[in-house]
Structure 1
């Protein structure tokens, strides 16, 4: 098993500009929770975090979007940015006809422990990953480079990375990483949904955003926390914000993160906390899955 630890961390001396600031200058990070199938009655959601040449942040609040909407959104938002990173909550490399991808087995070691589940991606699921599935048309039209290991130091261009909010949540917040600690924040699952968990997840997003200096995003998340009757569309919006935060921390190194898997069999990018990192490492070693860490700068 290949494991690259901290090879992506950018070094700097005290006289050099802060590397996180330099990594943000002129970039756009898009978070897209695609909903996996192109159903106009149940679209996903998309949002963006942008930085101008002075690193002043701008937040484009989540809006409902299907694949074609997402392409238009990305085209409009990226025009004034030299680098664009799209963080997509959907498998982007699926070579296997059945079963699940190796990266999903490692992610599943964390998610099953915290009380969640992983939907395996394979080509037999025609609507999601068959030859005519909308995600492939989206990726082809996007024409972005898929190589997460290049993202931290890239100067220009457009990159696509796969992310997974259910894995990101215990990676951002260790309190969610204990046994059965996953928050039940999906309003469409009425039997399990807990408004208290909804408030915890929105508070987590607000805190991560505030720590990153994204004041507008933090305020948006606080407003989402105040919803007393959130709907599935609200969760989609929230997940798109989580996607964007994962894309940002993978780019700027402000939070420890990992790439699970590879470009042959599929991969997932996720923040890691101490408990999720330990569980990922154990699973990756047992299952022989590549695991590359990007430690915080």
Structure 2
């Protein structure tokens, strides 16, 4: 079973991509990368998940938007449940410029057999897609009192917050279920050698490079949330919304 995390660029900016694989009762990193066009993202997915192969694709973007104006139900629920952590999400509606791109991405995944999974039978193989949101996931997975503010602010402050995220990932995700392995001798190398493997990632100091690192770490969180959803289902995850309203899957607080 594979788990693809997509920190989708809502407009035309690059997207962070991560692929994890479940093997030997652990999650192993196959690759972390970044692509710009939707066509390149889909080609990357196809290179890791062959036709008929089981996988969950966890996307940080509104791939179901039924409303023409205002906010979706799951958007409102993030503010209700996670506003105190500063983790409410942006409103999504069909009138906004990004809507066509994000909705069409979900439809492209459906043509590849990845069905929306706001409910799931834990650890059942299949081809699924879900919407996720890294900020509340990070708060719950790592037991934080507020989000890590690595997206806005002074460059040195963002870098410090992103370094905290990397440390939480390295220190805590291997201790959870499902555990994420960080071994340099993994028997599951990427399809092609890549300098973007998480264990080799250093938090840069330049602005553009920092944004690239942010996208990659977000994509890893997305992939892990997909694995957590598959492993536990509703036993240890929250689902805000449903297939009709749009939905967001968030791990319960550890």
TM norm. shorter chain > 0.5: yes
Describe the shift of the 1:256–1:220 C-alpha distance in structure 2 as closer, same or farther (beyond 3 A): farther
Unmatched 5+ stretches in structure 1: 1-26, 275-297
Give yes or no for contact 1:202–1:222 (8 Å, CA) kept in 2: no
Per the alignment, residue 174 of structure 2 pairs with 210
Q: Does 1:183 align with 2:152?
A: no
Q: SS where residue 119 of structure 2 aligns?
A: helix
Change (3 A) 1:67 1:245: same
| 1:142 aligned onto 2:106 | no
Corresponding residue to 1:115 among 81, 86, 89: 86
For residues 247 and 42 of structure 2, the distance between their equivalents in structure 1, rounded to whole angstroms, comes to 22
Cα distance in 2, alignment partners of residues 86 and 132 from structure 1: 14
Shift in alpha-carbon separation, 1:233–1:213, aligned structure 2, 3 A? closer
Per the normalisation by structure 1, the TM-score is: 0.70
Distance 1:67 1:141 in 2: 14
**Higher CA-based Rg:** 1
Number of aligned positions between the proteins: 237
* Contact in 2 for aligned 1:94/1:129 (Cα 8 Å): yes
TM-score, length of structure 2 as denominator length: 0.80
CA RMSD of superposed structures (Å): 3.0
1:120 alignment partner, SS class? coil
Aligned-pair CA distance for 1:223: 4.5
Match of 1:152 among 122, 138, 150: 122
Contact 1:31 1:46 in 2 (8 A): yes
Equivalence map 1:6-85=2 (5 Å): 27-37=1-11, 39=12, 42-52=13-23, 54-55=24-25, 57-65=27-35, 66-79=37-50, 82-85=53-56
Q: In the alignment, what sits opposite 1:14?
A: none
Structure 2 gaps, min length 5: 185-195
| Secondary structure of 1:194's aligned partner | helix
Which of 162, 175, 186 in structure 1 is aligned with 2:131? 162
State how far apart, in whole Å, the 2-side matches of 1:132 and 1:147 are: 17
Distance change in 2, residues 1:62/1:132 (3 Å): closer
Q: Residue 72 of structure 2 is aligned with which of 67, 81, 101?
A: 101
